[in-house]
Amino acid sequence: MEPTTTRMPALYLSHGAPPLADDTEWTRQLADWSGRISRPSAILVVSAHWEDAPLTLGATTDGVPLTYDFWGFPQRYYDVTYSAPGAPALAEKVRGLVGGPVHQDPRRGLDHGAYVPLKEMYPDADIPVLQVSMPSLDPAELLALGRRLAPLRDEGVLIVGSGFTTHNLREMSRGAHGAAPAWSVEFDDWTRRAVADHDVDALLDFEHKAPAAAIAHPRSDHFAPLFVALGAGLDDHRGSTSTVDGFWHGLAKRSFQFD
């Protein structure tokens, strides 16, 4: 099947740790989600697990190993592969849109914030993928970055911000599908409503406006990719959809599509 040149949405998804790929509900949710989206010409990923300033482009050639940026898991999680083609043409377009200095790290393969969800959404690994760093955790700066990258959507590029709607590993619940703690439920519900209301100002100031923000995100790296996706859908905002909900070990899997 040939890639589409239809205008693509921008996504914010909760990717989780590698064991989340063992959760059949989550993998089904992601597979169903990608099935409702036109096939992209390429995928641009901003992951919570790569911060580097100025904005840095990951590997653009084929065959660069994945970045297994986690520790202490069984060997099978380090045996996972995802050999998507590189996206050198997309990298050049990103350079042109971002403006200012852009670095390149040709040895950095996709990290688990990119390949874990993509393996469920596009298991054939036949769509070119480019990962770029988050040059800042400042919500306003990331929103502006998303707006600069938005024209790529008209070229069939799927822009993905990969994080987790609540992310406090010290406070994770023991059971994968047990009752979620109040702080996670409250922050998740606030985020759902703020996105549905398109309340960009509140989202940008989530650390002060959202309930339990300091517990839900002791560090904002996993919420930050939301602002890239939000920015990419801001100028031609046709609506947002909460595509995945529920909790995993008490953490909110909430994910959004910006059309």
CA–CA gap between residue 131 and residue 152 (Å, rounded)? 14
What confidence tier does 4 reach under pLDDT thresholds 50, 70, 90?
A: very low
Question: Tokens for 48?
Answer: 């919570």
Highest mean pLDDT among 17-21, 159-163, 249-253: 159-163
Q: For residues 36, 206, 15 and 75, what is the CA-based torsion angle, rounded to 10 degrees?
A: 180
- Structural domains of the chain sorted by starting position, each given as residue range(s) with its CATH number in brackets: 10-179+219-258 (3.40.830.10)
Asked whether the predicted pLDDT for residue 221 surpasses 90, the reply is yes
Which amino acid makes up residue 236?
A: D
Rg (CA), the chain: 17
pLDDT of residue 168: 93
pLDDT of residue 179: 83
CA–CA gap between residue 80 and residue 75 (Å, rounded)? 9
Q: Cβ(69)–Cβ(116) under 8 Å?
A: no
How much is the pTM? Answer: 0.94
How many helices (H) does the chain have, and how many strands (E)?
A: 9, 10
* pLDDT tens track for 80-125: 999 999 999 999 999 999 988 999 999 999 999 999 999 999 999 9
CA–CA gap between residue 196 and residue 256 (Å, rounded)? 10
Q: Cβ(33)–Cβ(243) under 8 Å?
A: yes
* pLDDT tens track for 5-60: 789 999 999 986 788 888 899 999 999 999 999 999 999 999 999 999 999 999 99
Please give the C-alpha separations between residue 150 and each of 51, 164, 183, 227, 228, in angstroms, as whole numbers: 20, 22, 33, 12, 9
